[in-house]
Chain A
Amino acid sequence: MFSELSKRLKKDKIARISLAIIILYFAVALFTQAGLLLPDFDKVNYTESYQPPSASHICGTDYLGRDVFSRILHGTRVAISVGIVSSFIAIPIGVLLGCISGFFGGKIDEFVVWLYTTLDSVPGLLLIMALSLVLGRGLYAVYLALGLTTWVSLCRLIRSEFIKHREREYVLAAKALGAGSLRQIFIHILPNVFHIVIINFSLRFVYAIQSEVILSYLGLGAQDMPSWGIMINDAKVELARGVWWQLTGATGAMFLLILAFNIFGDFLRDTLDPKLRGVE
Chain B
Amino acid sequence: MYKLKVIRQLESGDNNFSLSFPRRRESRDFKAVDSPVKPGNDNFWLVLLHGKNTLLACLFLSFFLFTGCANKTGTDNIIRLPMQTDIKGFDPAYAEDLYSHTAMAQIYETLLQYAYLERPYKVEPLLADGMPEISKNGLTYTFKIKKGVIFQDDKCFPGSKGRELTADDFVYSFKRIADMNTRSTGWWVFDGRIEGLNEFREKTKDSPKTDYTIDVAGLKAVDKYTLRFKLTKPHPQFLYTLTMMYTAVVANEAVETYGQEFLNHPVGTGPYKLTKWTRNSRIIFDKNPTFRQEFYPVTGETTDKTNGLLVDTGKQIPFIDRIVYIVYLEEQPLWLNFLKGNIDRSGIPKDSYSSAINASKELMPELQEKGIKLWKVPMLDVTYTGFNMEDPVLGKNLKLRQAICLAHDINKVIDLFYNGRAIPAQGPIPPGLDGYDPEFKNPYQSFDLEKAKQLLDQAGYPEGKGLPALAFEASGSGTIDRQWAELFKKEMEAVNIKVNVNYNTWPEFLDKLNKKKGQIYGLAWGADYPDAENFLQLFYGPNAANGQNNTNYKNPEFDRLYEKISTMPPSGERTKIYKQMVKIVTSDCPWIFGAHRMSFALSQQWVKNYKPNDVATNLLKYYRIDTQERAKMLKERF
Which A residues form the contact surface with B (CB < 8 A)?
44, 46, 49, 63-64, 137, 218-220, 223-224, 230, 233-234, 236-237, 240-242
Contacts and interface: CB of A to CB of B under 8 A. Distances in A.
A230 B482 contact: yes
Contact of A233 (B351, B412, B479): B479
Contact of A219 (B11, B353, B477, B487): B477
B234 interface: no
A64 B490 CA distance: 9
A237 B481 CA distance: 12
B149 interface: no
Contact of A224 (B353, B476, B486, B487): B486
Given A219-B482, A237-B479, 8 more contacts: A219-B476, A224-B486, A230-B482, A236-B11, A237-B11, A240-B351, A240-B353, A242-B354
A237 B480 contact: yes
A230 B486 CA distance: 12
Interface string B473-506: 0001111111100110110000000000101000
B35 to A, nearest CB: 18
Contacts of B357: none
Contacts of A237: 10-11, 479-480, 483
Contacts of B122: none
B393 interface: no
Contacts of A240: 350-351, 353-354
Closest 10 CB pairs of A and B: A219-B477, A237-B11, A44-B490, A233-B479, A237-B479, A236-B479, A236-B11, A63-B416, A137-B503, A234-B479
Contacts of B477: 137, 218-220
Nearest to B483: A63
Contacts of A230: 482
Given A237-B10, A240-B350, A224 B501 contact: yes
Interface residues of B, number: 22
A242 B490 CA distance: 25
Contacts of B350: 240
B455 to A, nearest CB: 21
Given A236-B11, A237-B10, A237-B11, A64 B486 contact: yes
A238 to B, nearest CB: 9
B478 A219 contact: yes
9 contacts: A218-B477, A219-B476, A219-B478, A234-B483, A236-B11, A236-B479, A237-B11, A240-B350, A240-B354
Nearest to A137: B503
A219 B490 contact: no
Main SS class of interface, A: loop
Nearest to B494: A44
Interface string B353-377: 1100000000000000000000000
Interface string B326-364: 000000000000000000000000110110000000000
Given A46-B412, A237-B11, A240-B353, A223 B478 contact: no
Given A219-B478, A233-B479, A49 B416 contact: yes
Nearest to A238: B479
A240 B10 CA distance: 10
Contacts of B490: 44, 64
A171 to B, nearest CB: 52
Interface string B281-307: 000000000000000000000000000
Contacts of B354: 240-242
A219 B506 CA distance: 14
A134 to B, nearest CB: 13
A230 B353 CA distance: 25
A230 B479 CA distance: 8
A65 B305 CA distance: 45
Contact of B487 (A64, A220, A223): A64
Contacts of B481: 219
Contacts of A218: 477
A217 to B, nearest CB: 9
A46 B194 CA distance: 56
B353 A223 contact: no
A223 B501 CA distance: 9
Contacts of A223: 501, 503
A63 B485 CA distance: 13
A44 B501 CA distance: 17
Contacts of B483: 63-64, 234, 237
A224 B500 CA distance: 9
Interface string B5-40: 000001100000000000000000000000000000
Contacts of A220: 477
Contacts of B489: 224
A44 B494 CA distance: 10
A233 B487 CA distance: 16
Contacts of B479: 233-234, 236-237
B503 to A, nearest CB: 6
Interface centre among B351, B479, B503, by most chain A C-beta atoms within 10 angstroms, is B479
